[in-house]
């Protein structure tokens, strides 16, 4: 039964949405928490904020040993993504990279948000957010 999975996360599967603490400005991702984990405000008041379409790699690992049905090497990165309108603080996102060769990434490099198939639920694909080096850098 994949309907609840589709329905529950469909908004955040389309684009990156963060939750900004109205007490201290910390942006929670991916969940809206009851308590701000930076300032401890409880119950915290959060505001939905759209996140930008690109971010900066803070660190990454290369996964070499995964089940047969996942392409390896598979880069996995922690990425700082600013808010779409340029205001407030960036948030930290944990994301898979696609169409990215190992020699194309380094700490501090820019990656773009991509809408890709993350995995499937039964026969149905779950499309969500991944990252890649900008296509124009492939020239």
Partner 1 sequence: MVAIDAAAGYVPLYRIARSEIAAQHGGSGRGESAVPSRDENHITMASEATTAALERSAVDADDIGAVFAASVSDYFAEHGVAAQLAYRLGAPTDSRTGDFRGTARAAADALETARQYVRATEKPVVVAAADIMPVEPGGDDEETMGAGAGALVLRPRSDDPAATIDSVGQATTGFLERHREHGQSAEQGDPRFERRHGVQPAVTTALERTETDADPEYAVASAPGYRFVQTALQSIDAERLSTFNDVGYAGTATLLLDIAHALESTDPGDSLVAIAYGQGGADAFRLTVTDATDERPGLSVSDQIETKEYVPYMKHVNSRERYEYQGVPNT
List residues binding partner 1 (CB under 8 A). Answer: 5, 10, 14, 67-71, 98-99, 115-127, 130, 135-136, 138-139
Closer CB to partner 1, residue 22 or residue 53? Answer: 53
* Nearest approach, Cβ of residue 82 and partner 1 (Å): 18
Instruction: Go through the chain and tell me how many residues it has.
Output: 139
Which string of DSSP letters, residue by residue, matches 32-81?
PPSS-TTT--TTPPEEEEEBPSEEEEEEEEEE----TTS-SSEEEEEEEE
Closer CB to partner 1, residue 47 or residue 124? Answer: 124
Q: How far apart are CA 32 and CA 52, in angstroms?
A: 18
* Nearest approach, Cβ of residue 139 and partner 1 (Å): 5
* Nearest approach, Cβ of residue 64 and partner 1 (Å): 16
**Cα four-point dihedral sign 35, 47, 96, 106:** negative
Closer CB to partner 1, residue 21 or residue 132? Answer: 132
């Amino acid at each position: 039964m994949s309907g609840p999975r589709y329905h529950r996360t469909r908004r955040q599967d389309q684009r990156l949405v963060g939750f900004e603490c109205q007490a201290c400005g910390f942006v929670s991702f991916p969940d809206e928490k009851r308590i701000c984990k930076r300032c401890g405000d409880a119950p915290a008041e959060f505001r939905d904020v759209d996140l930008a379409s690109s971010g900066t790699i803070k660190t990454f690992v290369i996964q070499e040993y995964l089940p047969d049905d996942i392409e390896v090497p598979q880069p996995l990165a922690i990425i700082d993504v600013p808010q779409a309108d340029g205001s407030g603080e960036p948030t930290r996102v944990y994301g898979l990279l696609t169409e990215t060769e190992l020699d194309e990434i380094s700490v501090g490099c820019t990656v773009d948000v991509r809408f890709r198939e993350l995995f499937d639920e039964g026969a149905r694909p779950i499309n969500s957010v991944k990252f890649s080096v900008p296509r124009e850098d492939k020239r």
